[in-house]
Amino acid sequence: MKQVEKPKKPLIIYYLIAFIVLILLNWFVFPMFMGSNVREVDYGTFLNMIEERQVSKVQLEGDTIYFMDKSEEPQQYETTTFDDPELVNRLEDAGCEFGRVAQEQMNPILSMLISIVIPVLIFWGLGQLLTKQMMKKMGGGAGGNPFMQFGKSNAKVYVESTTGITFNDVAGEDEAKELLTEIVDFLHNPGKYQEIGAVCPKGALLVGPPGTGKTLLAKAVAGEAEVPFFSISGSEFVEMFVGMGASKVRDLFKQTNEKAPCIVFIDEIDTIGKKRDSQGFSGNDEREQTLNQLLTEMDGFDASKGVVILAATNRPDSLDPALLRPGRFDRRIPVELPDLKGREEILKVHARKVKLSDNVDFNAIARAASGASGAELANMVNEAALRAVRDNRKYVTQEDLEESIEVVIAGYQKKNKVLSTKEKLIVSYHEIGHALVAALQTNSAPVTKITIIPRTSGALGYTMQVDEEERNLMSREEIENKIATLTGGRCAEELIFDSVTTGASNDIEQATKLARAMITRFGMSDRFGMVALETQVNPYLGGDSSLSCSPETASTIDDMVVDTVKQAYDKAMNLLRENKGKLHELAKYLYEKETITGEEFMSILNKKEDTEEKN
């Protein structure tokens, strides 16, 4: 665990101290040398003022005379005396108070000490305090000079197994754990590998979407190996000054060699590991110098010492090839989204600290959360616990977990969002249109829930479908059925109200994406067949794609996408038109209940079919 540092005093405190010292010097020290506001006059003026009885008090200090007038606001004057033997008589005749002060000459050394040395010492002490404060903020050390801290690595160091995380805390990534276990075994027992001539991999690159547990896996490796663990983000190498990033890399590897065996983890390595190019003046770029130094250090250190470099990224396509070659990052470990079994295990891990009721079915929750990452599953468990607390319950139920899935996917319920009667009716028919088209087709996922309660994501309602089994492949017929299901809501609006609304915007977007992917990526068109017309870029961050074809072909693709969606729309419209009675009955039931389960939906649908068969 990291040591807890004492709170640091803000710099404003030291500035206040300096300000107070200056005020004290101005009040008590400087007046001793600077004198008061005294007006200087000649000796004749002084004698005239005495004769006119305008002088009230006189003080003699050597050859200098200080005197005050008799005005309402007395003014102090200064003049130089001459050898005047009648001065005392004149003062007595004018009734002035007078006296003589013996002039004391201050020691010159003491005068210099007070006026120069003491202020210098005061400001030197304040400077030392400010320097120490700056040094603490920048990491300390470096011979007491904070500016020497530039170029020092600020990696967080977890000694031994103080990360508190082991492989038992990681679930759903069995393949990744298996590949990393060998590294842990090498750090524990290097002898059996060296005996046969094998060396430990220098580096392992963890690749996967956000939230899949790449950082957690790296900490688990350190926890299992019980060795020092250096953790640093790629962005921490990048500095404003050229060459500082490379200096940090050198300092980091110097520390690791001193603490070997150990593990170094660089998170978001794509920040400094991007591909280099030969255009412009990129050779002087700070990021490129940092990357070059990293490449050199990874080539230079001795793998037999047990120094292992782990790195994580969700943008592997942007990394420089020199960084990925064997000898640097020897292993590329995929950390993908968990499958059904993995999701179930992840839910169990995160539910260890949560009090659960006896009716919780993690398998059902895992099936409903298809495509969720480990971080999202952890959030679902936490949301379920928070919901239980809001309802004043001591444990989490199955209903809490099911609601938490909807919260993560669609957002919270908008309790203050009130739909008008007409809008509520339109949304009811829209959602039943989706559900009915899905139920009337083969090879479609069963409907599990339909609701018309608005959500914070902007959805006025949604229909949830959950596959009974984990699906990794989709046939052409299944994709076409899914597109038809997506168009079912708009079809129901047009069929019942002879009008359409903006409620199908998200459906249109998803249907268009699927239709385009069928033609350009999946090779499911008779016109182009198995020809790739689109390249997917950055698959772990949204999966954006770009067309790789001529403008004429792109125009043809657009026409084919329109035809594909139109055919699905016509199919959905025919299904709803043939089952218009079911559509009315189910929409009315949903309008009254606002939320219905898949069992209720199928019960009404099958009951209607039985009645028609008897008639």
| Confidence label for 331 from pLDDT (cuts 50, 70 and 90) | confident
Q: Which of 363, 378, 410 is the last residue of a domain?
A: 410
Q: Are residues 327 and 435 in the same domain?
A: no
Q: In this predicted structure, which of 56-60, 100-104, 443-447 has the lowest mean pLDDT?
A: 100-104
Asked if the structure places residue 416 within a domain, the reply is no
Distance in angstroms (rounded) separating the CA atoms of residues 104 and 62 = 10
* Class of residue 248 by CB neighbours under 10 A (exposed 0-12, middle 13-18, buried 19+): buried
pLDDT at 423 over 70: yes
CB atoms within 10 A of CB 317: 13
Residue 8, Cβ density class (10 Å: 0-12 exposed, 13-18 middle, ≥19 buried) = exposed
State whether the Cα torsion 522-525-531-535 is positive or negative: negative
- Identity of the amino acid at 484: A
CATH for 64: 3.30.720.210
What's the pLDDT at 178? 86
The answer, yes or no, to whether residue 151 has pLDDT greater than 70, is: no
Most confident option among 91-100, 119-128, 332-341: 332-341
- What is residue 6's predicted lDDT score, i.e. its pLDDT? 44
Same domain as 439, residue 402 = no
Share of the chain above pLDDT 90, in %: 22
Rg (CA), the chain: 42
Distances (CA, A) of 569 to 508, 520, 575: 11, 21, 10
Q: Which amino acid is at 506?
A: N
Q: How far is the C-alpha of 599 from the C-alpha of 290, rounded, in Å?
A: 60
Give the model's confidence band at 397: pLDDT under 50 very low, under 70 low, under 90 confident, else very high.
very high
Check residue 479 and give its pLDDT: 93
Domain boundary among the residues 387, 410, 433 is at 410
> Token pair for residue 600?
């209720």
Give the distance, in angstroms, between the CA of residue 219 and the centroid of all CA atoms in the same chain: 19
Structure letter (DSSP) for residue 138: T
Are 448 and 503 within 8 A, CB to CB?
A: no
205 bridge partner residues: 311, 332
Would you state the pLDDT for residue 10?
55
Are 39 and 78 a contacting pair, CB within 8 Å?
yes
Do 431 and 489 touch, CB atoms closer than 8 A?
yes
User: Residues 220-270: pLDDT tens digits?
Assistant: 888 887 888 888 888 887 765 556 778 888 888 888 888 878 888 888 888
How confident is residue 611, by pLDDT bands cut at 50, 70 and 90?
Answer: very low
Q: What is the DSSP letter of 263?
A: E
For residue 323, being part of any structural domain is answered with yes
Q: Which residue has the higher pLDDT, 93 or 138?
A: 93
Residues 324, 466, single domain; the answer is: no
Same domain membership, residue 301 and residue 243: yes
Quick check: is 6 in a domain? no
What's the start-to-end Cα distance of the chain, in Å? 75
Residue 2 maps to a domain: no
Residue-level pLDDT at 412 = 76
pLDDT of residue 485: 94
Judgement on whether residues 57 and 19 belong to the same structural domain of the protein: no
402 with 448, same domain: the answer is no
Residue 601 in any domain: the answer is yes
CA distance linking residue 310 with residue 275, whole number of Å: 19
pLDDT value, residue 579: 92
pLDDT on residue 610: 47
Let me know whether 264 and 280 are in one domain.
yes
Residue 7: the pLDDT is 46
- Quick one: pLDDT at residue 239? 64
Find all residues with CB under 8 Å of 479, minimum gap 6, and list them.
514, 518, 522, 524
Q: Residues 329, 346: one domain?
A: no
300, 334, 368: which is the final residue of a domain? Answer: 334
Is residue 396 classed as helix, strand or coil in its secondary structure?
strand
163 within a domain of the structure (yes/no):
yes
Phi and psi dihedrals of 401, rounded to 5? -65, -40
- In this structure, are 258 and 321 located in the same domain? yes
- Mean pLDDT highest for which of 6-20, 240-254, 304-318, 512-526? 512-526
The count of domains in the chain is 5
The sign of the dihedral angle between the CA atoms of 31, 33, 36, 37 is: negative
Q: Is the pLDDT reported for residue 443 higher than 60?
A: yes
The enclosing domain of 209 has a CATH number of 3.40.50.300
> Which carries the bigger pLDDT value, residue 529 or residue 282?
529
Residue 367 structure tokens:
């099936």
Q: In the predicted model, is pLDDT for residue 104 greater than 60?
A: no
Q: What is the pLDDT of residue 288?
A: 81
What is the amino acid identity at position 71?
S
pLDDT at 480 over 90: yes
Secondary structure (3-state) at 256: helix
Identify the sign of the CA torsion 328, 330, 331, 332: positive
Q: What are phi and psi of 66, to 5 degrees?
A: -110, 130
Give 19's pLDDT tier (boundaries 50, 70, 90): low
Q: Side chain identity at 486, as an amino acid letter?
A: L
With a CB cutoff of 8 Å and minimum separation 6, the contacts of 267 are 214, 215, 218, 231, 232, 233, 234, 311, 312
Calpha distance 14→90 (Å, rounded): 57
What sign for the dihedral angle of Cα 579, 580, 581, 583? positive
Residue bearing the bigger pLDDT, 73 or 447 = 447
Query: What pLDDT, on a 0 to 100 scale, did the predictor assign at position 72?
Result: 67
23 three-class SS = helix
Tell me which residue range forms the domain holding 254: 156-334
Is pLDDT larger for residue 415 or for residue 312? 312
Mean per-residue pLDDT over the chain, rounded: 79
pLDDT in tens, 47-85: 788 787 778 788 777 677 777 877 767 777 777 766 677
Q: Same structural domain for residues 475 and 553?
A: yes
4, part of any domain: no
Domain with 386 in it: what CATH number? Answer: 1.10.8.60
State yes or no: pLDDT of 101 exceeds 70.
no
| 3-state SS assignment for residue 469 | coil
The candidate with the shortest Cα–Cα distance to 314, out of 212, 227, 219, is: 212
Three-state DSSP string of 132-167: HHHHHHCCCCHHHCHHHHCCCCCCEEECCCCCCCCH
Query: What three-state secondary structure class fits 344?
Result: helix
Asked if pLDDT for residue 612 goes beyond 50, the answer is no
Q: How confident is the model at residue 413 (pLDDT cuts 50, 70, 90)?
A: confident
Could you say which of 431, 480, 493, 534 is catalytic? Answer: 431
273-296 burial, b at 16+ Cβ within 10 Å, e below that, comes to bbeeeeeeeeeeebbbbbbbbbbe
> Which residues make beta-bridge pairs with 266?
232, 311
The pLDDT tens digits for 556-588 are 999 999 999 999 999 999 999 999 999 999 999
431 is catalytic: yes
Query: What pLDDT score was predicted for residue 33?
Result: 45
Q: Which residues, other chains included, contact 132 with Cβ-Cβ below 8 Å and sequence gap of 6+? A: none
Residue 415 lies in a domain: no
Highest mean pLDDT among 171-185, 270-284, 386-400 belongs to 386-400
227, 308: one domain: yes
Output the 3-class SS for 354-367: CCECCCCCHHHHHH
Decide: helix, strand or coil at residue 232: strand
- Assess whether 205 and 81 both reside in one domain: no
Average pLDDT over residues 393-414: 85
Domain CATH number, residue 597:
1.20.58.760
Could you read off the pLDDT of 375-392 as tens digits, one per residue? 889 999 999 999 999 989
